[in-house]
């Protein structure tokens, strides 16, 4: 009985081995007969060393070095408006004249009283020299003269406030004030801005504080002028860090003699820090970011020759360590060498040893300073 069972068990095992061998040979035949993947069309670029200027980027806003909304210090009726909206004016130029007839009369009356007091003082001083009056009378005359001069000066100050002048040289904004209008103290008359130079105010993380100092160069760009760079200099660093955001306010001064930029505009700010460095650079489209690391595909000759005796280009996936970015470009710190052909588009259909056809008719963006393209 035991011998028969062993024979049966051996027969079953032999059958299982035969079936497994047959299945293995069938799979091998299917694999051998499966169509091999054809060459994939991609774009590529040679990795090259480029000189980069390290910089800190931020978003800022422009403000005038001098800018106010002119208003009246005292009430009065507008007699004349001596400017037009948008005029360039000089410091001290008369802009608004309020009705000052009564104030002018009061000043002349006070001035006349002061002149009379001065005459009385001189006469009494002459009499004092002749010992005709007392010193007390002369002292009273002197005090009366000072009092009347102070009244005259006060009336003159009121009179001058009725003539509203430009506090500095600048460009006027739009006004709605017209002759005959009554102005109350504090009423807005017209904005005036000196835009020959502008402040660029921006925030940086407190970790960047050690990299900035007054006098550093700041490159400023505006979406209003694509491709144009304005140069500014850091002139002030706030001595206090914002405790809510942990940022520090930085101010740079920008020359704006051509008046291209205006207060209130947004600005893209790049603070130049340190010396220029050379980085191995590729387009950002070349990088495939994965949880286990960043990779690129290299177009390199195959180890095997084709039917024509040539070594076709195939894809080789390699891990890379990325660094700083600049526009469409990214710096590669480790993983590839200068001169290697890096695949820049079409990576989704690639794997190791996939044959490649390079077609660089249309290349992905690779600009260090890209600008939006309107359609």
266 with 281, same domain? Answer: no
| Other beta carbons less than 10 A from residue 330's beta carbon | 21
263 with 281, same domain? Answer: no
User: Which CATH number covers residue 292?
Assistant: 2.40.420.20
In a domain, 249, yes or no: yes
In a domain, 321, yes or no: yes
pLDDT of residue 375: 43
- Residue 335: left (phi > 0), alpha (psi -120 to 50), or beta? left
Domain of 232? 55-65+194-272
User: Which CATH number covers residue 225?
Assistant: 2.40.30.170
In a domain, 77, yes or no: no
In a domain, 80, yes or no: no
Distance CA 279, CA 277 (A): 7
116 with 263, same domain? Answer: no
267 with 316, same domain? Answer: no
346 with 294, same domain? Answer: yes
Distance CA 120, CA 145 (A): 9
Which residue in 229, 218, 171, 219 sits closest to 195, CA to CA? 171
Token pair, residue 22, equals 């047959």
Distance CA 286, CA 254 (A): 37
Average pLDDT over residues 271-294: 88
Helical residues (DSSP H) of the chain, grouped into ranges: 2-33, 101-129, 135-161
Strand partners, 357: 41
pLDDT tens sequence across 157-177: 999 999 999 999 999 999 999
Distance CA 282, CA 295 (A): 12
Whether the pLDDT of residue 199 is over 90: the answer is yes
The count of structural domains within the chain is: 3
Last-in-domain residue among 141, 161, 181: 161
> How far is C-alpha 4 from the chain's CA centre?
91
Rg (CA), the chain: 42
Q: Looking at mean pLDDT, say which of 27-36, 47-56, 134-143, 241-250 comes out highest.
A: 241-250
Task: Report the Cα–Cα distance between both ends of the chain, in Å, rounded.
Answer: 90
Distance CA 286, CA 332 (A): 11
144 with 106, same domain? Answer: yes
Scanning the structure block, which residue is given the tokens 């280009």? 313
- Taken in order 333, 336, 339, 342, the sign of the CA dihedral is negative
pLDDT of residue 3: 67
In a domain, 212, yes or no: yes
pLDDT band at 32 (very low <50, low <70, confident <90, very high): low
Q: Which residue has the higher pLDDT, 297 or 15?
A: 297
Last-in-domain residue among 257, 272, 287: 272
Q: What is the dihedral of CA 165, 108, 149, 126, to 10 degrees?
A: 150
104 with 155, same domain? Answer: yes
Token pair, residue 233, equals 């200099």
Whether the pLDDT of residue 17 is over 70: the answer is yes
Greatest extent of the chain over all pairs of C-alpha atoms, in Å: 168
Distance CA 71, CA 185 (A): 7
In a domain, 247, yes or no: yes
User: Which CATH number covers residue 151?
Assistant: 1.10.287.470
59 with 113, same domain? Answer: no
pTM for the full model? 0.65
In a domain, 75, yes or no: no
Token pair, residue 211, equals 């990299």
Distance CA 334, CA 230 (A): 34
Average pLDDT over residues 234-250: 93
198 with 260, same domain? Answer: yes
258 with 309, same domain? Answer: no
252 with 282, same domain? Answer: no
In a domain, 95, yes or no: no
Last-in-domain residue among 272, 296, 313: 272
- Mean pLDDT, the chain, as a whole number? 87
């Amino acid at each position: 009985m035991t011998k028969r069972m062993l024979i049966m068990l051996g027969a079953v095992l032999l059958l299982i081995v035969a079936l497994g061998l047959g299945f293995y040979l069938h799979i091998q035949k299917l694999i051998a007969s499966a169509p091999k993947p054809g060459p994939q069309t991609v774009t590529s670029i040679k990795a090259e060393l480029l000189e980069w200027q390290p910089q800190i980027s931020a978003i800022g806003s422009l403000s005038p070095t001098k800018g106010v909304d002119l208003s009246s210090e005292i009430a009065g009726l507008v007699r004349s408006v001596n400017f037009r909206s948008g005029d360039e004016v000089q410091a001290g130029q008369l802009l608004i004249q309020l009705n000052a007839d009564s104030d002018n009369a009061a000043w002349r009356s006070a001035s006349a009283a002061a002149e009379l007091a001065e005459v009385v003082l001189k006469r009494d001083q002459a009499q004092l020299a002749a010992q005709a009056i007392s010193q007390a009378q002369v002292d009273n005359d002197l005090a009366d003269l000072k009092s009347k001069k102070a009244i005259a000066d006060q009336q003159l100050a009121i009179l001058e406030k009725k003539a509203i002048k430009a506090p500095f040289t600048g460009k006027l904004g739009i006004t709605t004030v017209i002759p005959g209008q009554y102005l109350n103290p504090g009423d807005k008359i017209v904005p005036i801005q000196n835009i020959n130079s502008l402040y660029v105010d921006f925030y940086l993380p407190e970790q960047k504080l050690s990299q900035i100092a007054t006098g550093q160069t700041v490159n400023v760009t505006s979406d209003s002028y694509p491709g144009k760079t304005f140069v500014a200099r850091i002139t002030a660093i706030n001595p206090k860090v914002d405790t809510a955001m942990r940022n520090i306010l930085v101010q740079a001064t920008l020359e704006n003699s051509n008046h291209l930029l205006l207060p209130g505009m947004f600005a893209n700010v790049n603070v130049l820090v340190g010396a220029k460095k050379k980085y191995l650079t590729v387009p950002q489209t070349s990088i495939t970011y994965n949880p286990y690391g960043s990779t690129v595909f290299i177009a390199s000759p195959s180890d095997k020759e084709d039917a024509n005796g040539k070594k076709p280009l195939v894809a080789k996936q390699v891990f890379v360590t990325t660094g700083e970015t600049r526009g469409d470009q990214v710096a590669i710190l480790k993983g590839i060498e200068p001169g290697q052909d890096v695949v820049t588009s079409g990576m989704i259909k690639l794997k190791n040893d996939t044959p490649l056809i390079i077609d660089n008719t249309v290349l992905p963006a690779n600009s260090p300073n890209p600008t939006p393209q309107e359609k």
